[in-house]
A and B are shown apart, each in its own frame.
Chain A
Amino acid sequence: MAPQGEVKVLGAWPSPFVMRPRIALNLKSVEYEFVEENLGNKSELLLKSNPVYKKIPVLIHGDKPVCESLVIVQYIDEAWKDSTSILPSDPYDRAMARFWAAYVDDKIFPTMRGIVAADEGEAKAAAVALFKEGLSLLEEALVKMSKGKKFFGGDEIGYVDIAFGCYISWFKVTNVISNVNLFDESATPHLVAWIHSFSSHPAVKDVMPETDKLLEFFNNVVLPRMRAAAAAK
């Protein structure tokens, strides 16, 4: 029986982390209310639900808040057990999925930001090379884990797909603003195909931000913030 209680997700449309619980809920066909936060003026509900970090996403199930995007995805997987599984059933495969999801947050996200922050020339080339090293490991992992199917999770999207795929729009924005091509058909062919498959998946396509909109957000909101921070140093 599905667990009782209304489901809310507190978030903001540009955030890759917020996409994660939304995709998971969509996969499980769970109805939820999406509450768009104004991060310059955080709601009482957000501050009360995530007093430790005061960050999005927060899942509120009934009256219970769950914080940290990957913790939320695992909660969704375990609370709605009767639907499609997000984590695989074999313990070793689960360990691999958890390992690579952690890798995405520890290495891929920071190295992507490193590209945007790098000065033109050698520094940027080095930042791109570092990012692509990580990407080649994920290309290998995709080949191993997918066993010839489309996703890290096999036939259906799984934990690593969700953890990694939420960054796709931001990768595209990085390509534009840093004038690079992060996903090279010849270097990472499986990942290039995976990007198409993931982006068009029914559980994903309506919650993935459009690249143009995200680029506008970057130029109007993120870039001024970055410049202000650099000037303050």
Chain B
Amino acid sequence: MGKNHEEVQLIGTWVSPFVFRARVALNLKSVSYEFLEEKVGAKSDLLLKSNPVHKKIPVLIHHGKPICESLVIVQYIDEVFDGVKILPEDPYDRAIHRFWAAFLDDKFFPALKTIRMVQGEEVQKKLVEIKEGLALLDEALVKLSKGKPFFGGDQLGYLDIALSGFVAWIQVREKTYDVKLIDESIIPNLAAWVDSLRAHPAVKDIIPTADGLIEWVRVNLGPPPAPAAN
């Protein structure tokens, strides 16, 4: 049997890009887990008890002990379970993966998320910010992948997992704002990476579609804003 079949639970939702990271990591390690889906608007007692500091998903529960914060969870999964190594071996490569993962959370995702809250010219500014971020990631992919499909090389690595949760949401923004963000003519490497990611066994059965997310947003958060006037 072995470690990868011990009791593991993950508290989350299918829409959260952060929960998605944990799910990909668990799949990559072939760890069976119980997915405890939170309802919108009502946090479960288990969530509040397991993450009293932030009260946020994802939370991984292993042997009854909770681990919080998506990137902390991914590193924990990498260190505890056997299988494919998520972080590279070399300390410098690890630092580069961690740097870009922090960039995603500190700079990239805030722009992606908050575009929904602005109007007019501000929307264009956010779109430029998002595109600039994607261009940087495209460059980083060329450097880190060394000709292979992923940031981790042949296999999904830490940065692949960190970025994976945002792919569907980027595609949601493309539809909502009628703009191409993952443009093969501008960022060919990242465009190819998206296809490789969507086809990967650890990803393909759980990655949301843009339409599915748009519908979820419509039902749970209200209608999308009208696309910015040009």
Binding site for B on A (CB under 8 A): 3, 52, 61, 64, 66-68, 70-72, 74-75, 78-79, 91-92, 94-95, 98-99, 102-103, 137
Interface status of B143 (Cβ within 8 A of chain A)? no
Cβ of B102 and Cβ of A91 under 8 Å apart? no
Interface status of B69 (Cβ within 8 A of chain A)? yes
Cβ of B76 and Cβ of A94 under 8 Å apart? yes
Quick one: closest A residue to B51, CB to CB?
A: A99
Binding site for A on B (CB under 8 A): 53, 62, 65, 67-69, 71-73, 75-76, 79-80, 91-92, 94-95, 98-99, 102-103, 136
Least CB distance, B129 to chain A, in whole angstroms: 13
Contacts A66-B99, A92-B76 given; does A103 touch B53 at CB 8 Å = yes
Cβ of A71 and Cβ of B102 under 8 Å apart? yes
A-B pairs with beta carbons under 8 Å apart, 14 shown? A52-B136, A61-B92, A71-B98, A71-B102, A72-B95, A92-B62, A92-B67, A92-B76, A94-B76, A95-B75, A98-B71, A98-B72, A102-B69, A137-B53
Q: Chain A at the B interface: mostly helix, strand, loop or mixed?
A: helix
Cβ of A99 and Cβ of B68 under 8 Å apart? yes
Cβ of B91 and Cβ of A78 under 8 Å apart? yes
Least CB distance, B9 to chain A, in whole angstroms: 15
Could you tell me the distance between the alpha carbons of A64 and B92 in the complex, rounded to whole angstroms?
8
6 residue pairs, one from A and one from B, having the closest CB atoms: A78-B91, A91-B79, A75-B95, A79-B91, A95-B76, A98-B72
Could you tell me the distance between the alpha carbons of A71 and B73 in the complex, rounded to whole angstroms?
16
Least CB distance, B202 to chain A, in whole angstroms: 21
**Contacts A75-B94, A99-B67, A99-B72 known; 6 new A-B pairs at CB < 8 A:** A71-B95, A71-B98, A71-B102, A74-B95, A78-B94, A94-B79
Could you tell me the distance between the alpha carbons of A36 and B92 in the complex, rounded to whole angstroms?
24
Least CB distance, B146 to chain A, in whole angstroms: 16
Least CB distance, A151 to chain B, in whole angstroms: 20
Quick one: closest A residue to B62, CB to CB?
A: A92
Residues of B within 8 A of A64 (CB): 92
Cβ of A99 and Cβ of B69 under 8 Å apart? yes
Could you tell me the distance between the alpha carbons of A95 and B94 in the complex, rounded to whole angstroms?
17
Cβ of B94 and Cβ of A74 under 8 Å apart? yes
